[in-house]
């Protein structure tokens, strides 16, 4: 299973913001707070995505809002 590019960007951002603290404490806490879901694409591929982003996109689709 692969990660969606938006999840990769979120992880990179998290590492950039929270890395460097003693024992990587803040980075560990930030990573523990991440909520990741499996999304099945129309092609049948399953990818890991950020749950909040998936929820946002799903809500926008049901409301007819294009992103």
Q: Percent helix, strand and coil across the chain, each rounded to 5?
A: 55, 20, 25
- Domain residue limits, the chain: 2-62
CA separation for the pair 61, 35 (Å, rounded): 21
| Phi-psi category of residue 48: left, alpha or beta, with phi > 0 → left and psi -120 to 50 → alpha | beta
Are 48 and 38 a contacting pair, CB within 8 Å?
yes
- pLDDT tens digits for range 16-52: 999 888 889 999 999 999 999 999 999 999 999 999 9
pLDDT band at 67 (very low <50, low <70, confident <90, very high): low
- pTM for this prediction: 0.78
């Amino acid at each position: 299973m692969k990660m969606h590019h938006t999840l990769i960007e979120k992880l990179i951002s998290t590492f950039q913001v929270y890395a460097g603290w003693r024992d990587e404490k803040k980075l560990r806490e930030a990573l523990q707070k991440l909520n990741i879901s499996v999304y099945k694409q129309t092609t049948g591929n399953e990818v890991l995505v950020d749950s909040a982003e998936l929820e946002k996109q799903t809500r926008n689709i049901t409301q007819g809002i294009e992103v």
